Structure 1
Amino acid sequence: MINAVKTLGWLLCLLLALPAAARPLSVLSGNLTSSGSDTLANMMTLWAADFSRDHPDVSVQIQAGGSATAATALAAGTAQIGPMSRVMTAAETAAFQRRYGYPPLAVPVALDALVILVNQDNPLPTLRLSQLDAIFSITRSCGDARAITRWDELGLTGAWNGLALLRYGRNSASGTYGFFRQRALCGGDLLPSVNELPGSASVAQAVAASRNAIGYAGMGFHATGVRILPLTDQAGRQVMPDESTLRNGDYPLVRYLYIYINKAPDKPPAPAIAAFMDRILSPRGQGRARQGGYQPLPEPVRLRARRDIGLE
């Protein structure tokens, strides 16, 4: 009997010494609110479904108003999880820090690429980044002298001769919008004629519906009726976004997707947040990233993210 009591006491001490995310799942309860990126909305739904099966007493609510809403909600304390398809700006980080005294923790959760979509009937073989800038930008900061407004200016002939380009993109609350400006337009401004839509899925659907359309979106969003254009690099190679070109950096518009959380230095995050991030950064959770149309993190990045949260 004494030995049994000693064993039980030893197990209890061991249990209390475990990180929050490693303790029995049934002890977690309450609410988790995610507010942020539309690009990550489908992934958040997959991860939340996995999490809820093991933690039925934690209610996970997902709002996808765009990456800009993540920074605002985290700073206000109305969300505990902030998915973003870009890095927070200095102003967004400062707003959070003014309230809490430390910056939010940026956790990479998947690899994504911004892709260029054309209608499936469009025969254009490829685009250079400078041409992409000349199509979408009013400033043309990447170097092309003239704006591109018609498909024959890109070499298309026949029925495409004289046909104007119809441009689609994301709205300004989107991290995809900001990333496109910085990486594809060399920091320039978009033309006022670009039709801004609230989600990447909407962009894909609009391009599929219009023969003369072109648009940009995250790689996890594409639909029947569209085709992803390869981009021509400086060496003249046509590069498609796939697992290999994302991981080795050959595709020029690759990016990490992030979740920002409130984690004080040298302290663990709240138990429910830790458990949710533990699921996302597990091998199973990263497998969900591939299922959702993105790429899992490189293993060193995944392990470093776990250490930063305190999961290792």
Structure 2
Amino acid sequence: MTRKLLALGAGLVLSASAFGQALTVDPELPTYEPVSGVSGSMKSIGSDTLNNLMALWAEGFRSVYPNVQIEIEGKGSGTAPPALIGGNAQFAPMSRPMKSAEIQEFEKRYGYPPTPVRSAVDALAVYVHKDNPIQCLSLQQVDAIFSKTRNGGYPDNITTWGDVGLTGEWADRPISIYGRNSASGTYGYFKEVALFNGDYKDEVKEQPGSSTVVQGVASDIGGIGYSGVGYKTADVRSVPLQTDADGACYDAVAEYAVSGDYPIARFLYIYVNKNPNRPLDPLRGEFIRYVYSKQGQEAVVRDGYFPVLKPLADQDLAIFGLK
């Protein structure tokens, strides 16, 4: 699934050769230029993972249009579809694709599906305390750490760091597990990919936000948790992952996220109510243009996520009638 979504070919997302030592924005993306007739207010309701990034985009957009008001609420991807369906939000950021039932509910009301903006690429990192020496985990081991069903096929329940090969003082150290709550798109995506659609252990310490997962791991020497790569701090480290015990280990970095080698990568979406028979209003249309501008994708890099290339931006802009 991840490989199909991200390894799109044709230069739609950044390839390994596109990254030097520093992550940069596609120089082919246009610099955003203001237009006339943009005013009003908008509300964004949805993903906590995208909360900071939506705020950066809103700040940049308002620097161009100071009379525009943008309100942002990030309580989880699960809150996005109802807000968009009910007309309570103009933008519905989600760290996972909408489920078929959510799309059907939207279509039931409007007669057409919601339209996604593929705004950035994220690697969903597995974090441990910065002093933890673990060098690599397989997805099957991750499943056996976080899940009680072990659908990945690992033979044993993993409860200590010795169970994944650490020795000395780490051998008997219990693994302390941190995760998100069920309203989170990150919770659902991790469950689908890393837990092979299994069930989380009851011992998982559910956190209300991406940053609090990282804070929990940072303050717990035996901790492990998952969160977007944009929330990484100096007090945690991401663990390289392998798809199986015989495969290579890949860290949660841009090169491997967009190539599909890192197994828990994803697009970050913003869903919009776009009637296919009517043009978007200038306010929403120009905000989407801003997201796909040089300034918008520079904000993606600044927030720790990975930018997309102009061909993908052009595809989405064309769908919205903005080309």
The superposition leaves residues 195-239 of structure 1 with CA deviations (integer Å, 9 ceiling, x where unpaired) of 110111111111010101000001100122111110124453121
Report which of the two structures shows the higher radius of gyration computed on alpha carbons: 1
> What is the aligned partner in structure 1 of residue 261 from structure 2?
250
Aligned-partner Cα distance in 2 for 1:237–1:24: 47
> What is the aligned partner in structure 2 of residue 18 from structure 1?
none
User: 1:296 deviation in Å?
Assistant: 0.6
Is the 1:247–1:298 Cα contact (8 Å) retained in structure 2? no
Is the 2:152–2:195 Cα contact (8 Å) retained in structure 1? yes
Is the 2:34–2:64 Cα contact (8 Å) retained in structure 1? no
The superposition leaves residues 239-296 of structure 1 with CA deviations (integer Å, 9 ceiling, x where unpaired) of 1122211221111111000000010113222221111111001122112111110011
User: 1:122 and 2:132 equivalent?
Assistant: yes
The superposition leaves residues 8-42 of structure 1 with CA deviations (integer Å, 9 ceiling, x where unpaired) of xxxxxxxxxxxxxx996342222100000010011
User: 1:53 and 2:53 equivalent?
Assistant: no
Moved more, 246-255 or 205-214: 246-255
Aligned-partner Cα distance in 2 for 1:208–1:168: 11
Aligned-partner Cα distance in 2 for 1:291–1:207: 23
Question: What is the TM-score with the length of structure 1 in the denominator?
Answer: 0.90
The AA in structure 1 aligned to 2:100 is A
User: 1:151 and 2:161 equivalent?
Assistant: yes
Higher relative contact order (CA 8 A, sep 6+): 2
Is the 1:25–1:54 Cα contact (8 Å) retained in structure 2? no
Aligned-partner Cα distance in 2 for 1:276–1:198: 28
| SS of alignment partner, residue 231 of structure 2 | coil
User: 1:303 and 2:314 equivalent?
Assistant: yes
> What is the aligned partner in structure 2 of residue 226 from structure 1?
236
1:274 alignment partner, one of 281, 285, 298: 285
The superposition leaves residues 64-95 of structure 1 with CA deviations (integer Å, 9 ceiling, x where unpaired) of 01101111100000000000000001111112
Is the 1:233–1:239 Cα contact (8 Å) retained in structure 2? no
Is the 2:242–2:263 Cα contact (8 Å) retained in structure 1? no
Aligned-partner Cα distance in 1 for 2:34–2:169: 65
The AA in structure 1 aligned to 2:292 is L
> What is the aligned partner in structure 1 of residue 273 from structure 2?
262
> What is the aligned partner in structure 2 of residue 161 from structure 1?
171
Runs of 4 or more, structure 1, over 4 Å off, are none
Aligned-partner Cα distance in 2 for 1:292–1:161: 36
> What is the aligned partner in structure 2 of residue 216 from structure 1?
226
| SS of alignment partner, residue 48 of structure 2 | coil
Q: CA RMSD in A?
A: 1.4
**What are the within-5 Å matches in structure 2 for residues 1-312 of structure 1?**
25-234=35-244, 235-312=246-323
Aligned-partner Cα distance in 2 for 1:289–1:124: 29
| SS of alignment partner, residue 38 of structure 1 | coil
Aligned-partner Cα distance in 2 for 1:229–1:208: 14
Is the 1:34–1:62 Cα contact (8 Å) retained in structure 2? yes
User: 1:161 deviation in Å?
Assistant: 2.4
The AA in structure 2 aligned to 1:287 is E
Aligned-partner Cα distance in 2 for 1:42–1:265: 30
Aligned-partner Cα distance in 1 for 2:76–2:131: 31
Is the 1:110–1:289 Cα contact (8 Å) retained in structure 2? yes
Question: What is the TM-score with the length of structure 2 in the denominator?
Answer: 0.87
Q: Which has the higher helix share?
A: 1
Is the 2:242–2:262 Cα contact (8 Å) retained in structure 1? no
Corresponding pairs, count: 291
5+ residue gaps, structure 2: 1-31
Change (3 A) 1:93 1:127: same
Is the 2:45–2:75 Cα contact (8 Å) retained in structure 1? yes
The AA in structure 2 aligned to 1:89 is K
| SS of alignment partner, residue 238 of structure 1 | coil
Aligned-partner Cα distance in 2 for 1:116–1:43: 20
The AA in structure 1 aligned to 2:254 is E
Aligned-partner Cα distance in 2 for 1:154–1:283: 43
Change (3 A) 1:145 1:267: same
5+ residue gaps, structure 1: 1-21
